[in-house]
Amino acid sequence: MNYPKYFREQLEQLREEGNYRVFADLERQCGAFPSAFSHAETGPEKVTVWCSNDYLGMGQNPNVLAAMHRAIDNCGAGAGGTRNISGTTHEHVLLERELADLHGKEAALLFTSGYVSNWAALGTLASRIPGITVLSDELNHASMIEGIRHSRCQKRIWKHNDLEDLEKQLLDLPANAPKLIAFESVYSMDGDIAPIAEICDLADRYGAMTYLDEVHAVGLYGPRGGGIAEREGLMERLTVIEGTLGKAFGVVGGYIAASYDLVDFIRSFASGFIFTTALPPAVAAGAAASICHLKQSDKERYLHQQRVREVRDRLDALGIPHTKNPSHIIPVMVGDPVKCRFISDVLMRDYGIYIQPINYPTVPKGTERLRITPSPVHSPEDVDRLVSALGDLWTQCQLARKPIAAQ
């Protein structure tokens, strides 16, 4: 095989489809979020970031930064080992306690990312429980899909957020067979929210465990930032709650929270937990400070929701179509990968606004979009500039607008 030719052709195909990924080379400006410098070919240019998952700006929160600085000064740079072999520092232990408390569970376990936590926890549960069937929502994140696939367990894919289909599939399985329902609370691309209580009802009726990914909800919802399950008083009904430290908490890392025995089981059997170096203590300290802050402070959540409402109202006033949903994610649908990339490029080049185009395979072909994530660190002037730039571009590209009554 001509390997170099193969790689070139595959990449060429991606380019032709408009799905080739180009990363913005950014330098975030701590203390001035959402501002960043974009290292363009023509030299650094100041841009406003409108697509970050640092939803609350906690990546520049003074408490978080102070905790990280302190931990670096006290413990040095890295953890120095896997959790099993010298890498469990006190910062990890404290963070796991903080996480268990956040979700009202007996224990929590850290991983190097949310992706790894899903892959390792689902993969371990599904491969180690004899005869288990995993029932997975069809729009679950790649990390959940990969974990389930890796386990080689029996699986059933149920229609997105469709309780009838889930029940039909549960009915189809032997009553005594072990089952695990895996789903998310806030779906990250459409921003819709799962009917968690009803899924728990089905789980109870059919003897299934539940695994809830709250990656796009932790820090953001619930009186202490425990996520949608906390907001709805459902945390104790879920077998496993999974989350990330890399989005609303502003740092990096992932975790599960569950019963002591389940967590101990994953700790003891998950290769994605056992055979990798622990997160740096400073990361654990920063994450703990972030969680601790958001448990006590509602200000960030309040401003976040307010900013989201403002952006939606302003887009509506201009007839710029965006998908309605009950969360903080604003998907502005374009429906074409080339146009999506073009709009994103012009926003960056002419308006200093950075919104990464979301193309296949992150979303299905034909549903390409700009995914806007307003945050408390966006000012009213930032909102003015964003909305006015989108208005210009919708005219320039002759994109369809929605009459206000039809929104």
Least Cβ distance, residue 43 to ligand PLP (angstroms): 30
Q: Which amino acid is at 1?
A: M
Residue 161 contacts ligand PLP per CB under 6 A: no
> Tokens in use for 92?
């990890």
Which pair of structure tokens corresponds to residue 163? 């309780």
Q: Which residues have C-beta within 8 Å of that of residue 140, sequence separation ≥ 6?
A: 182, 183, 184, 213
| Cβ-based neighbour number of residue 270 at 10 Å | 25
In the bound state with ligand PLP, the residue whose beta carbon lies nearer, of 250 and 281, is: 250
* CA dihedral sign of residues 20, 23, 24, 25: negative
Q: How many residues lie near ligand PLP (CB under 6 A)? A: 14
Selected from 118, 169, 239, 327, the binder of ligand PLP by CB under 6 A is 118
- Does 375 engage in binding with ligand PLP (CB under 6 A)? no
> Of 82-90, 156-164, 211-219, 394-402, which part binds ligand PLP (CB under 6 A)?
211-219
Tell me: cis bond preceding 130? Omega within 30 of 0 counts.
no
Using CB under 6 A, pick the residue from 92, 105, 141, 304 that binds ligand PLP: 141
Reference 237, options 273, 194, 266, 267; nearest CA is 194
Stretch that binds ligand PLP, among 112-120, 203-211, 340-348, 363-371 (CB under 6 A): 112-120
In the complex, least distance from residue 110 CB atom to ligand PLP, rounded to whole angstroms: 11
User: Cα dist. 374→50, 80, 85, 306, 343 in Å?
Assistant: 6, 37, 41, 9, 18
Of 362 and 407, CB closest to ligand PLP: 362
Q: Which of 159, 247, 295, 299 is catalytic?
A: 247
**Which of 91, 98, 137, 184 touches ligand PLP by CB under 6 A?**
184
Peptide bond into 223 cis (omega under 30): no
Stretch of 38-46, 54-62, 113-121, 283-291 lying at the interface with ligand PLP (CB under 6 A): 113-121
> For residue 211, what are its two tokens?
């695994």
Measured distance CA(73)–CA(86) in Å, rounded: 19
- Give catalytic status of residue 247 as yes or no: yes
What is the bridge-based pairing of β-strands 254-258 and 107-111?
antiparallel
Does 230 bind ligand PLP (CB under 6 A)? Our answer is no
Q: Which of 113, 133, 344, 356 binds ligand PLP (CB under 6 A)?
A: 113
Q: Which is nearer to ligand PLP, 253 or 376 (CB)?
A: 253
CA distances from 229 to 183, 214, 223, 255, 270 (A): 12, 8, 11, 16, 25
Binding site for ligand PLP (CB under 6 A): 113-115, 118, 141, 143, 184, 188, 213, 215-216, 244, 246, 254
Positions marked catalytic: 247
